[in-house]
């Protein structure tokens, strides 16, 4: 009997927070690669906040997932069959597509992974898109310098973990922001941040205590009330790296969330000569992936770079895990173990 593929489809576009009815679990025939294509079996699936935007049909930097199509996502696994030069059955690869067990992809989407360098799932986080996002955003926009103060929101998350540790390697004073005592303890004790602030408490007071002279670099993953607290504390020539706004992803496009604080007064951008810039890692990042991976493997080998994962078992549990992530339920990089 031919093995079946399993997949999660986008059944309808959510209004506000996604719910279980927005997804559909299906079994279909296993796809077959055409000429110049590669069939990949996923072992781990990455779940990331940007996927909420793909569920919407609002205008964005990338096309939305079509209704009835497989949900967007990257996987790591092995080649089952190949009709493309450079790939053979048994190869370990990063770049399989979608919330599904099997995917047929073009070879230019795939990157060979040496088995055993790190646990396979870490190729989706520390050595994957989140890690690359942190590395590119700091190099191109944040440009931290030794002795500067850096604040990282969602510090225990997939991107925030790497941002803060890279800052510490450079010699910055790094302050994380996370939700809850357990996450803050992990950020301080395991990742080595100088301090981690619990946004569930009085964040303004905590920032005053932790950053008495202000903030040079702010890595934005959250938005909302956290951003409102950090914004007035940016120093002259400060840099604000706009990576994500997870607290606001479930808002209707163009609408203000009920009860949300007003947006920041942008006047200080001129007075303080601030740099506020958003970026998408796919614009330039993947072309620099070999350099990124080599540097990160060096940091891992030296013990200067660690990561925490939140691994969910079973593809059928991906929707619930994804919905929880948007509310901060995950602790570390969220991945799904397909098998």
The second-level CATH assignment, the architecture, of 4-125+307-337 is: Alpha-Beta Complex (3.90)
Residue 105 dihedral angles phi and psi, to the nearest 5°: -135, 160
Mean pLDDT of 125-154: 97
Predicted confidence (pLDDT) at residue 254 exceeds the cutoff of 70: no
Structure tokens at 128: 């994957």
Cα–Cα distance for residue pair 56/16, rounded to 1 Å: 10
Neighbours of 300 (CB within 10 A): 17
Beta strands in the chain (DSSP E): 4-10, 23-29, 38-46, 74-82, 92-97, 102-105, 111-112, 149-153, 173-178, 195-198, 215-220, 234-242, 275-278, 309-313, 333-337
**Cβ contacts of residue 197 below 8 Å, gap of 6+?**
175, 176, 177, 178, 184, 203, 206, 207, 210
Q: What is the pLDDT of residue 262?
A: 60
pLDDT band (50, 70, 90) for residue 211: very high
| 209 against 63, higher pLDDT | 209
Q: What is the pLDDT of the chain when averaged over all its residues?
A: 94
| 236 against 58, higher pLDDT | 236
Structure tokens at 56: 């919407």
Encode pLDDT of 6-51 as tens digits.
999 999 999 999 999 999 999 999 999 999 999 999 999 999 999 9
Among candidates 47, 58, 74, 62, which has minimal Cα distance to 13? 58
Domain ranges of the chain: 4-125+307-337, 129-282
Encode pLDDT of 257-294 as tens digits.
445 556 678 889 999 999 999 999 999 999 999 999 99
| 20 against 251, higher pLDDT | 20
Encode pLDDT of 174-193 as tens digits.
999 999 999 999 999 999 99
The second-level CATH assignment, the architecture, of 129-282 is: 3-Layer(aba) Sandwich (3.40)
The pTM (predicted TM-score) of the whole model is 0.92
């Amino acid at each position: 009997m031919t093995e079946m593929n399993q997949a999660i489809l986008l059944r309808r576009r959510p209004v506000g927070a996604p719910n279980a009815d927005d997804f559909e679990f299906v079994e279909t025939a296993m796809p077959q690669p055409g000429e110049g294509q590669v069939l990949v079996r996923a072992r781990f699936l990455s779940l990331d906040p940007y996927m909420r935007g793909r569920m919407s049909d609002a205008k964005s930097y990338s096309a939305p997932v079509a209704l009835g199509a497989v949900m967007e996502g990257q996987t790591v696994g092995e080649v089952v069959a190949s009709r493309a030069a450079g790939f053979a059955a048994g190869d370990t690869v990063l770049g399989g597509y979608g919330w599904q067990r099997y995917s047929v992809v073009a070879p230019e989407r795939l990157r060979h992974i040496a088995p055993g360098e790190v646990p396979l799932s870490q190729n989706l986080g520390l050595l994957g898109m989140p890690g690359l996002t942190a590395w590119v955003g700091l190099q191109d926009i944040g440009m931290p310098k030794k002795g500067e103060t850096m604040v990282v929101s969602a510090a225990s998350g997939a991107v925030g973990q790497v941002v803060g540790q890279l800052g510490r390697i450079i010699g910055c004073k790094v302050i994380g922001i996370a939700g809850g005592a357990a996450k803050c303890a992990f950020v301080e004790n395991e990742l080595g941040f100088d301090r981690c602030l619990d946004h569930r408490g009085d964040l303004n007071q905590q920032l005053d205590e932790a950053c008495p002279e202000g903030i040079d670099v702010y890595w934005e993953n959250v938005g909302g009330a956290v951003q409102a607290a950090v914004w007035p504390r940016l120093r002259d020539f400060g840099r604000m790296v706009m990576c994500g706004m997870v607290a606001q992803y479930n808002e209707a496009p163009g609408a203000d969330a009920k009860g949300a604080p007003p947006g920041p007064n942008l006047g200080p951008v001129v007075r303080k000569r601030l740099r506020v810039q958003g970026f998408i890692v796919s614009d330039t990042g993947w072309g620099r992936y070999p350099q990124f991976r080599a540097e990160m493997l060096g940091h891992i080998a030296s013990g200067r770079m660690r990561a925490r994962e939140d691994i969910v078992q079973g593809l059928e549990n991906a929707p619930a895990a994804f919905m929880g992530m948007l509310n901060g339920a995950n602790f570390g990089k969220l991945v799904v173990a397909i098998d």
